[in-house]
Structure 1
Amino acid sequence: MQIDPRDGTHSMYRTLTGLVVPRPIGWISTRSHAGVDNLAPYSFFNAVSVDPPILMFSPIDRPDGLTDTTVNVRETEEFVVNLVTNEFADAMNQTSVELPSSESEFDDADLEREAAAVVEPPRVAGVAAAFECELHDVLDVGSSSLVLGEVVSVYVRDDVTTNGKVDTSKLDIVGRLSGGSYDRIDNRFEMERPD
């Protein structure tokens, strides 16, 4: 099968999300100017740069405008990226519900907030790791907003470290596949990089 993205016969969303797998999930918490804490998962998420440390996520704009997450980030210039592990999979899914901007997904999913060290939006209490970010840039890319954030503080739960370093073997990270399908990192293997 050959797909021409311009002919409109195939859903490019389904094609991209079905083939670019697994995708890490950025569980983004923001706070509105009115003080409402927003929490939403984004599987168009990844690391971009080390120096400075930059993460990105990309909300697809809604037909009626920007997502609450995008609005909040543009207004406050801060957000937190919470990592999703298996213990939080159901709660993460619950926070994908569309609520009025006056209601918080934290409350809807019965999640506790934990104060961030540097930024105003809270992190999800109990997560294995979270990146506190200040807005670096927002780019309008077609029907999406590409949000770039500079990491200003990182929280890592002690039980996912070994000798003071992140131990990925202790992280039960959940990745997004397509539709309602997700994946866990439970079949690791190693390869040595060639010289």
Structure 2
Amino acid sequence: MKSLDAAHLNERDGYKLLIGSILPRPIALVTTLTADGTVNAAPFSYFNIVTANPPLISISVQRKQCEMKDTARNAVASGEFVVHISDETYVDQMNITAASLEPEESEVELAGLTTVASSKVAVPGIAEARIRMECVLEQVIPLGEKDGAPACDLLIGRVVYFHVADELYDNGRIKVQELKPVSRLAGSDYAKLGETFSLERPN
């Protein structure tokens, strides 16, 4: 077994070990709104559930050259964002939203996606996504350190409204096989749901 002291690894090597080990990772496609009304969108695989009561989710937005990315900056400024679950039906368009654009340019328009009004927040959602969650910013936590500044901004969002396509909703549950979620691996690789199995939790 190869044993490595994290203190002796450079940032790139640590990154490769993390993304190559912690997988598959669900992908949140996040929309935010700029002050001038531009809808920004970006995918994030550092994404998970925090707690169910209240419904809190987390998104870690890595900084670029010590500066907040558009998603974090917009979410902090407005206190709102919308999270969409990425699936096979629009994965190519989701990938396009990862392009590096200026804040006043919309990744939603670049990807040819369609905006839809939200119910409780001002930030629009994306119609192509079959699950979306309207969120208010519960907390933002700057974490890590790089060149004297935080390395990332951890956004904790409280879900205030769920939207689930009819074909996926089954009496309060999600039909996972119908959802066909996609997940992030390492490099340019992604994964589909694939084979599933069940294990009974011990008493």
Please, which of 120, 123, 133 is the counterpart of residue 121 of structure 1?
123
Contact kept? 1:21, 1:176, Cα under 8 Å:
yes
Please, which of 17, 22, 46 is the counterpart of residue 48 of structure 2?
46
1-structure distance, mates of 2:3, 2:80: 41
Q: Tell me the equivalent position of 1:160.
A: 168
Q: Tell me the equivalent position of 1:134.
A: 136
Structure 2 regions of 5+ residues with no counterpart? 145-150
Which residue identity lines up with residue 26 of structure 1 in the other structure?
Answer: A
Which residue identity lines up with residue 134 of structure 1 in the other structure?
Answer: V
2-structure distance, mates of 1:89, 1:126: 10
Which residue identity lines up with residue 88 of structure 1 in the other structure?
Answer: Y
1:13 Cα offset (Å):
1.2
Please, which of 152, 177, 191 is the counterpart of residue 169 of structure 1?
177
Give the structure-2-normalised TM-score.
0.92
1-structure distance, mates of 2:116, 2:92: 19
Provide, for residues 151-174 of structure 1, a one-character-per-residue CA deviation record: whole Å limited to 9, x for no partner.
000000001122453222321000
Which residue identity lines up with residue 2 of structure 1 in the other structure?
Answer: S
Q: Which moved more, 1:133-142 or 1:8-17?
A: 8-17
Contact kept? 1:161, 1:167, Cα under 8 Å:
yes
Contact kept? 1:25, 1:43, Cα under 8 Å:
yes
Q: Tell me the equivalent position of 1:91.
A: 93
Which residue identity lines up with residue 181 of structure 1 in the other structure?
Answer: D
Provide, for residues 80-115 of structure 1, a one-character-per-residue CA deviation record: whole Å limited to 9, x for no partner.
000000111111111000000010000011111111
Contact kept? 2:183, 2:191, Cα under 8 Å:
yes
2-structure distance, mates of 1:177, 1:68: 24
2-structure distance, mates of 1:128, 1:12: 34
Please, which of 17, 20, 36 is the counterpart of residue 18 of structure 1?
20
The count of aligned residue pairs is 195
Which residue identity lines up with residue 179 of structure 1 in the other structure?
Answer: G
% identity of equivalent residues: 33
Which residue identity lines up with residue 6 of structure 1 in the other structure?
Answer: A
Contact kept? 2:85, 2:131, Cα under 8 Å:
yes
Contact kept? 1:161, 1:170, Cα under 8 Å:
no
Partner SS for 2:7: coil
1:138 Cα offset (Å):
0.3
Structure 1 regions of 5+ residues with no counterpart? none
Q: Tell me the equivalent position of 2:148.
A: none
1-structure distance, mates of 2:9, 2:173: 47
1:64 Cα offset (Å):
5.1
Partner SS for 2:102: coil
Q: Tell me the equivalent position of 2:147.
A: none
Which residue identity lines up with residue 13 of structure 1 in the other structure?
Answer: Y
Which residue identity lines up with residue 73 of structure 2 in the other structure?
Answer: V
